[in-house]
Amino acid sequence: MKNFIRKIVLFVLRRYAKRKLKRFKGEVICVTGSIGKTSTKDAIFTVLNTKFKVLRNEESMNTDFGLPLTILGLKSGYKSGLKWAWLIIKGFFTSFTKMYQEVIVLEMGVDKPGDMDYLLSIIKPDIAVMGPVAPVHMDVGQFKNLDEVFEEKSKMVKALDKDGIAILYADDERTFRLKNGRPKNKTFTYGLSPEADFKATGIDESLAGIKFNLGMDGRRIEISVPVLGKQHIGIVLPAIICGISMGFTVEETIMALQRFRLPAGRFNLIEGRVEGVTIIDSTYNSSPKACEEALRTLSGLQPKSGGRKIAVLGNMNELGDLSEKLHRDIGAKAPESCDILVTVGQAASFFADAAEEAGMKKVFRFQNVFALIEGFKDKIQPNDIVLVKGSQNNVRLEKFVKEIMKFPEEAPNVLVRQSKDWQKI
């Protein structure tokens, strides 16, 4: 019965969203990939919002429900039947109103085969940004392998009209190949690869942010952006390309990006309650590639005098039969990245197993975030750098960050999943 009601609600929301979009005359930019969709979408928004009225997904409302709700300007009803009934009524009237935005920037998330088809039945891109594809959403009822993940996500690029613009991540072989057969003047690639149209070189990263040289059209431009982590070059470059495609100069896009801040729970720096402690808050979600990049960044940072590098890693969810192997692969590299490894959850214990097998001595294991708070909160010392990363479902490491941050009263503004509905879960 619940599944039947779900289908009815989705059908109604889709109808409402399509009706509202008939009144939209601007540009549609869609973003997909396995890593960094929300950050990329927000970086593009930061640039374009300096000249245009822009609509974007709030947080990560990128699914079958989130996309039409975004277009209709509505929030989720979560598990409340009364809220959903009210949203259906409100959505009906909203669907007849005019859209005043000039640009729509949407991230498109898929969990299983067919999801992208549904999203594209509502809206199609004028500009499609596709980032890296990674082994995520591979649990029961989801994707069988990485090829299936790629095929589903690539539908967004293939849905472009002949005048549509494709912006493709050059460091991912699958994504890069999507340029084949497309018009050269409507296809742009980005990344660290020498073959990229927009190429980053000479990269320097620190707690102050990232600096690099951008190579494009025979030019070399020095860029600095106040976000942590070399991996975030992959969200800065598509934002620059989108800006240029929408009539900005490259200098204007770079200036706009000085205002950019990563969304909550995506590698943000937070001051710890213990003197000199820096928290790297990456609690929104986790996947093998993102976790590996997070540890790589941690390895290159230098704590202040006496400080240690601590990695608090929770389960990486939805990895199916590959879960143990992928956790072990990352755990084996942990001794190169941190002084102390802390794992949270059953699957995350494979991080610990592999790290200990690789010779790491300071390893702590906890079953859940509450045990972590009780058993490790007071072990943090002055000047430590603490990376906190884990998947959201049944992990919720933002609760730990709230316990160790200097100003927990700021949690509603800086941490993920702080709404009343999330707090009830």
Over residues 275-305, the pLDDT tens digits come to: 999 999 999 999 999 999 999 999 999 999 9
Closest C-alpha to 107, from 57, 170, 172: 57
Instruction: Name the percent of the chain lying above pLDDT 90.
Output: 90
Residues 284 and 392 reside in one and the same domain: yes
Residues 203 and 283 reside in one and the same domain: no
Return the structure tokens found at 190: 């980005």
CB 344 within 8 A of CB 368: yes
The count of structural domains within the chain is 2
Secondary structure of residue 281 in the 3-state scheme: strand
Statement: residue 324 has pLDDT above 60? yes
Position 94 scores a pLDDT of 96
Position 1 scores a pLDDT of 41
Average pLDDT over residues 194-218: 96
Tokens 């951008």: give the residue. 214
Instruction: Name the percent of the chain lying above pLDDT 70.
Output: 100
Last residue of a domain, one of 257, 292, 327: 257
Which pLDDT tens digit goes with each residue over 385-418?
A: 999 999 988 899 999 999 999 999 999 999 999 9
Strand order in the sheet with 268-271: 268-271, 278-282, 385-389, 309-314, 340-344, 363-366
Query: Could you tell me the CATH number of the domain that includes residue 235?
Result: 3.40.1190.10
In a domain, 253, yes or no: yes
Element (H, E) at 386: strand 385-389
Collect all residues with Cβ–Cβ distance below 8 Å to 226 and sequence separation of at least 6. Answer: 208, 209, 258, 260, 261
Return the structure tokens found at 147: 């090829």
Residues 272 and 316 reside in one and the same domain: yes
Which pLDDT tens digit goes with each residue over 133-162?
A: 988 888 888 999 999 999 999 999 999 999
Q: Is 69 exposed, middle or buried (0-12, 13-18, 19+ CB in 10 A)?
A: buried
Residues 253 and 315 reside in one and the same domain: no
In a domain, 425, yes or no: no
Q: For residues 67 and 31, what is the distance between their CA atoms, to the nearest angstrom?
A: 12
Position 423 scores a pLDDT of 78
Statement: residue 262 has pLDDT above 90? yes
Closest C-alpha to 40, from 110, 92, 90, 109: 109
Average pLDDT over residues 371-380: 98
As a whole number, the mean pLDDT across the chain is: 95
**Which residues is 309 bridged to in the sheet?**
385
Which pLDDT tens digit goes with each residue over 33-52?
A: 999 999 999 999 999 999 99
Position 159 scores a pLDDT of 97
Rounded to two decimals, the pTM is: 0.91
Statement: residue 79 has pLDDT above 80? no
Given pLDDT bands bounded at 50, 70 and 90, which one contains residue 80?
confident
CB 307 within 8 A of CB 335: no
Give the largest CA-CA distance in the chain.
Answer: 64
Q: For residues 68 and 274, what is the distance between their CA atoms, to the nearest angstrom?
A: 44
CB 136 within 8 A of CB 34: yes
- Residue 171 belongs to what domain range? 2-257
Collect all residues with Cβ–Cβ distance below 8 Å to 42 and sequence separation of at least 6. Answer: 56, 260, 262, 263
Residue at 337: amino acid letter: S
Residues 81 and 179 reside in one and the same domain: yes
Closest C-alpha to 293, from 327, 249, 337, 246: 337
